[in-house]
Amino acid sequence: MRQDIPKTMNFDTARMKRLFDAIAPLPRMVNSPGLDTTFEIISKEFPDIILHEYPVGSECEDWIVPPAWEVCGGWMKNESGELIASTDENLLFVAPYSKPVDGWFTKDEIISHLRTRPEQPDAFILEHRLAYNYRLKTWGISLPHNRWSSLPDGRYHIKIEVKTHNSPLKTADLFLPGERPETLCICAHIDELCNDDLSGCVAAMELMHFLQSLPRRNYSYQMLLVPEMFGTLFYLYHNREKVAKTIGMLNLETLGDGREWCLKGTHPAGHSIEQILRMALRQNQTKACELNFFEGYGNDERYFAWPTINLPGVALQRYPYDKYHSSLDTPDKINMSYMKEALAVCKIFIEILETNSIPAYTRLLPPWLTRHDLYVDVSDNPASYHKLNDLALYHIDGHRSILELAQLADLNFSELKTYLDRFEDEKLIAFSPVNWKLK
């Protein structure tokens, strides 16, 4: 049965803006009350979503679920009692998973606990390293670089108050079944800031609304919104049956701002889902640089691609992002035209995945193209004649897919698919499904 994907996709800009405004201000790191609230918001958007919960202290191999961490307050004052910075000004002043502290320190003593960024001299910085070594071994703060540089030598009073809770680590999993069990995972990390990577989550949610609207789906789809690394590792460990049906992962990151569009390739390079994203970018006329798997922003595709799991992940990003991991990463910086462009590319990605198939001739002899009104006249259009009547038709061997033929003939997927559909209508070609190797 031929799959018909709507030519246009309605982007609900108001819905996307509402999600940015509601979620971006929440403190979201690994396991936190802010993430709990975030998952409540997402559950209202998708009542069928599953929240997987992993109790604090539970283990899978080396990994242990951290306690939920919450900053109650923090400030830094000079010897005159004047306030230098506080969590009231910006929550990034205290590094996530900092231990509490209340004491006087010299500048030399503070510097090993401090993160600044000279290239962002007026911004607080997300110091995330303690969150990935969450055992509350030390305290940490961030200050705008210019503010720190202007402080005179002396002693400074630093106070940090935190709480920990036994709230479980959570991941959000929305599954849309299709006619085939093979599943594409659309993944983004829900923790940290706004463009990084709430933008990927908002785009993933919008894409799932589109997929829900389709009258039928060839493939199954999953949206996985996770606290980066911890959420992914615990999900992969505890959901091996679902993972076994996954053909690959589309990772969405920093979509609303950044220097340029980038395709971050799979590991190993050149997997089919990488080729699909490359074709989607081409077909949408979106210029993008290409990064290898270990370049750009590395996220949860790294855990999917671990050799014992071996699931390819391709990423769409705007990279580099000059406000990355800083207090400058706020909803007002999101460019909604970038969000729409990302969704247009993702929509074409889905269209290619859904409609790609393997053509084979049904007859021994070449068809009389003019009899079937399929001939591209070399006099009128020599370039299309060569690409369609020569390269594409002469490489149909019952093994190459439409996507592979389009790449070989330097054609857009949709152009070749439309042309070959006419051959199917004339019973000159029959299509068979693409076979994915599942684990």
**Does the pLDDT at position 14 exceed 90?**
yes
Q: Please give the helix or strand (H or E) that residue 337 lies within, else none.
A: helix 336-355
pLDDT of res. 377: 81
> Quick one: three-class SS letters along 338-352?
HHHHHHHHHHHHHHH
Could you tell me the CA-to-CA distances from 381 to 274, 386, 394, 413, 417 in Å, in that order? 31, 9, 18, 19, 19
| Tokens at 103, concatenated | 């004491």
User: According to the CATH classification, is domain 68-165 in 3.30.870.10?
Assistant: no
The helix/strand/coil state of 93 is helix
pLDDT of res. 130: 82
CA atoms within 13 A on the CB side of 395: 18
Q: Please give the helix or strand (H or E) that residue 233 lies within, else none.
A: helix 230-238
Contact between residue 309 and residue 337 where contact means Cβ atoms under 8 Å apart: no
Peptide bond into 433 cis (omega under 30): no
Q: Smallest Cα–Cα separation from 65: which of 300, 192, 230?
A: 230
Q: Would you tell me how many other CB atoms lie within 10 Å of the CB of residue 299?
A: 26
| Tokens at 153, concatenated | 């030598």
Q: Domain-by-domain residue ranges, the chain?
A: 13-64+168-355, 68-165, 357-433
pLDDT in tens, 192-247: 999 999 999 999 999 999 999 999 999 999 999 999 999 999 999 999 999 999 99
Give domain 13-64+168-355's CATH number out of 2.60.40.10, 3.30.70.20, 1.20.1440.230, 3.40.630.10: 3.40.630.10
Q: Smallest Cα–Cα separation from 141: which of 156, 131, 126, 151?
A: 126
pTM higher than 0.85, yes or no?
yes
| Tokens at 194, concatenated | 């706004």
pLDDT of res. 437: 79
pLDDT of res. 337: 96
pLDDT of res. 5: 76
pLDDT in tens, 350-388: 999 999 999 999 999 999 999 999 988 887 878 888 899
CATH architecture of 357-433: Orthogonal Bundle (1.10)
Could you tell me the CA-to-CA distances from 327 to 295, 337, 363 in Å, in that order? 24, 22, 64
